[in-house]
Amino acid sequence: MDSITQAALGASIAGALAGKALGRPILLIGALLATLPDLDVLIDYGTAVANFTQHRGFSHSLFVLAPLSLLLAALLWRWKPELGFSRWLLLTALVLMTHPLLDTFTTYGTQLFWPFGRPLAISSIFIIDPLYTLPLLAGCIAFLLRPPALRAITAGLLLSTAYLGWSFVAQQMITERVQPALAKAGFAGAELLVQPMPFNTVLWRATAITHQQRVEIVTGFLDGDTPLTLEYFPRQPELASAVSQLSETRRLERFTRGFLDYRRANGEITATDVRLGIPGAHPFSFVLAHDRDGTLTPADGERAPRPAMNTGALPLLWGRTTGAIPVLCLASLATPAPGEEC
């Protein structure tokens, strides 16, 4: 999740556990502790691909955060012994470990058990979701105004946790909705990713991929009986095969579970993570190889320029979320003309 949300969660947990004893400063301590795992963004792993795939790595591992909690609890106990070591340990452990647990609910992926296994991604909540964050912020503001405001802090934590649970339930409901249409279209055995569209859990995006094709479905809880619209995107397996032996390609394939779009343009072969963003606005693309008259030369895995944000699409996304717009074509971020399809 975004840094503001993580800080608000850490501050809320700290306030609930130690607000009576330490007052307002405990919110700052909780917020600072909650930001520690994300300091790995300051580490340069050598290439843009490595930086992309190693983020949320060791610093988000429960195997690292557990002993770190002990160390930080001991230091904080020496500073403020009136709270007691056991309470400090509970506070630091909860603040540090809820950070990667929350990140696991997003699509990016979190290496919760680093150095073992693949990144975990439940993909039931967008990286920024106001309905999750606002209850936490409200509790923190109530605490700052009239500490310790335990009821407000606790209510914020309960509401945000309930919303997180709802996101998972909603994801399962949308999955059940799209699976018959995907099976009818020949994607029954395809790899499937169901995730919310930006900033909400009302409108959802389902992505299914095979070697030859990718299909996208946008559907929401306010659609009523509107038939599902399937939007097809061709894949280029020959490009994937041409760069499959490159170390950066293997790293991306593993990290994204194969949700990559390969393209050749301007003498470069790029791979784009199609899980993040939406078609036409995917933020993470990487140059894997240079193509010179049919001869491929491995690139350094640098990041391709990020597409410009289409602010004109925001009203369309809102209209699609509320159901006012029944169909929104992802490829063009526009509504189809009457009688036409995406």
Domain limits, the chain = 3-122
Q: Which two tokens stand for residue 314?
A: 């925001």
How far is residue 237 from each of residues 241, 258, 286, measured CA to CA in Å?
6, 12, 17
pLDDT tens for each residue of 260-296: 999 998 899 999 999 998 877 899 999 999 988 778 8
C-alpha to C-alpha distance for 79 and 73, rounded to whole angstroms? 10
Mark out the alpha helices in the chain (DSSP H runs): 3-22, 25-35, 48-54, 62-79, 85-104, 130-145, 150-184, 237-242, 247-256, 313-322
Contact criterion met (CB below 8 Å) for 313 and 333 = yes
Query: What's the pLDDT at 34?
Result: 98
Which residue stretches of the chain have pLDDT < 70?
309
- What's the angle, vertex CA 55, arms to CA 118 and CA 210, rounded to 5? 50
Residues 6+ apart with CB under 8 A from 105: 122, 123, 124, 125, 164, 167, 168
Identity (one letter) of the amino acid at 292?
R
Cross-sheet strand order for the sheet of 203-209: 191-196, 203-209, 213-220, 230-234
- 114 CA to centre of own chain: 18
Q: Are 215 and 181 in contact (CB under 8 A)?
A: no
Beta bridge partners of 261: 272
Q: What is the predicted pLDDT for the residue at 296?
A: 86
User: Phi, psi (5° rounding) for residue 251?
Assistant: -65, -45
pLDDT for residue 338: 80
* Inter-axis angle of helices 150-184 and 3-22, nearest 10: 150
Which pair of structure tokens corresponds to residue 285? 């693309």
* The one-letter amino acid at 337: A
Q: What is the pLDDT of residue 224?
A: 85
- Using the CB atoms, write b or e for 2-16: b if 16+ within 10 Å: eeebbbbbbbbbbbb
Q: How far apart (Å, rounded) are the C-alpha atoms in residues 253 and 272?
A: 10
Place of tokens 């992926």: 109
